[in-house]
A = this chain, B = another copy of it.
């Protein structure tokens, strides 16, 4: 069984479902964009140079002492399903999964660390934690950055800071992303208001799989847009100002639902449970939508025959890549929706009719 096969059978860090304030904050993620001084940016690299970048970085990555096992995946040689699985686990970006040319990723077995080689920049360091934990996540990525920086020469400009392929990343090269579950704000119609406040603080609001993806199932990523002219500390502290407010709004909205709209709330939660137990065909989008309601139900103590662990596991295992991986076969869309429904029914120990 390959490393990726093993991964696909686990819940993964970002859906572990623990960590501080995990009833609202799914995960905290920081990534740093770095490039090597002796090479052109990827868009201007020859194939040979691109290969050399990967060779060099792969060696350094495999030599890192992170206190946990790390394995390297040559993405350009990995099959489509493996790439999809890594993307669904938030270990590589969609761009990295679907791109071309020599590229790879170093992954720590706990999945807290992912080091993408030749994505948009030569190197992207990612640290991911379940729940809210900006300072710890920052400390860890800063430590890894220092370790790699000790043996690599990064492209760095005295005045501009770290140089990156895309100008929006120049400076610190940092992107902080916090994944939030905001079903109650959605339900009460307050979401736009909260997002507007976030945008006023120059934070971007994105869907589950980052840039350009739709928000599905009330899961949203907040991330910084500015990397230049601010220190990493400032960027993180901006997050630390706004996040407690967003979390608090969501919690207040949940309490308001419990107080004033209990029947509607329960209806939403239990219908989702009924649908997941009875559907005979269900898309991954609808599954996330329904699981979002279940997650809220579990978090608010409205449904007790189900654990958060099961909900989190289902969020991942019902994604197209994972589903096909677990099933051990490629499945076309319609067939996949039927198999997904069957898998969910079994997993929820639903009635075994038909």
A interface residues (Cβ-Cβ under 8 A, vs B): 263-264, 266-267, 270-271, 273-275, 277-282, 302-303, 305, 334, 338, 341, 353-354
Residues from chain B with Cβ under 8 Å of A354 in the complex:
266, 270, 302
Complex Cα–Cα for A296 and B168 (A): 57
Tell me the smallest distance from the CB of A213 to a CB of chain B, in Å. 26
On chain B, the residues within 8 Å of A281 by CB distance are 263-264, 267
Complex Cα gap A112–B271 (Å): 38
Task: Indicate if the CB atoms of A305 and B353 lie closer than 8 Å.
Answer: yes
Instruction: Please determine whether B263 and A270 come into contact, CB atoms closer than 8 angstroms.
Output: no
CB distance from A349 to the nearest CB of B (A): 11
Q: A263-B334, A263-B338, A338-B263 are in contact. Are A280 and B275 (CB under 8 A)?
A: no
- Please, which residues of chain B bring their CB within 8 A of the CB of A353? 270, 303, 305
Q: Taking the nearest CB of chain B, how far is it from the CB of A36, in angstroms?
A: 52
- Asked if A270 and B266 sit within 8 Å, CB to CB, the answer is no
What is the minimal beta-carbon distance from A152 to any residue of chain B, in angstroms? 53
CB-nearest residue of chain B to A274: B278
Q: What 10 A-B pairs are tightest by C-beta distance, nearest first? A: A274-B278, A274-B274, A267-B280, A266-B280, A267-B281, A270-B278, A263-B338, A263-B281, A270-B280, A271-B279
Query: How many angstroms between the C-alpha atoms of A279 and B282 in the bound complex?
Result: 19
- Given A303-B353, A338-B263, decide whether A277 and B274 contact each other with a Cβ distance below 8 A: yes
Beyond the given A263-B280, A267-B281, A274-B278, please list 14 additional residue pairs across the A-B interface where CB-CB is below 8 A: A264-B281, A266-B354, A267-B279, A267-B280, A270-B278, A270-B280, A270-B354, A271-B278, A271-B279, A271-B280, A274-B277, A275-B278, A277-B278, A305-B353
What separation, in Å, do the CA atoms of A79 and B267 have in the docked complex?
Answer: 32
Chain A interface, DSSP helix/strand/loop, else mixed:
helix
Residues in B neighbouring A282, C-beta threshold 8 A: 267
Partner of A278, one of B273, B280, B334, B338: B273
Residues of B within 8 A of A277 (CB): 274, 278
Q: Which residue of B lies closest to A281 (CB)?
A: B267
Instruction: Collect the chain B residues with CB atoms within 8 Å of residue A267's CB.
Output: 279-282, 341
Chain B hits for A273, CB < 8 A: 278
Q: Which of B263, B275, B302 contacts A275 (CB 8 A)?
A: B275
- List chain B residues, Cβ under 8 A from A280: 263, 266-267, 270-271
Nearest-Cβ distance from residue A334 to partner chain B, whole angstroms: 7
CB-contact partner of A271 in B270, B275, B303, B305, under 8 A:
B275
A341 to B270, CA, bound (A): 11
Q: Which residues of B contact A278 (CB under 8 A)?
A: 270-271, 273-275, 277
In the assembled complex, how far is the CB of residue A276 from the closest CB belonging to chain B, in whole angstroms? Answer: 8
CA distance A273 to B279 in the complex (A): 9
Pairwise interchain contact B275-A279, C-beta atoms closer than 8 A: no
Residues in chain B near residue A338, CB distance under 8 A = 263
Closest B residue to A266 using CB positions: B280
- For A268, give the chain B residue with the smallest CB separation: B280
A-B contact pairs, 13 of them (CB 8 A): A263-B334, A266-B280, A266-B354, A267-B279, A267-B281, A270-B278, A270-B279, A270-B353, A274-B277, A275-B275, A275-B278, A302-B354, A303-B353
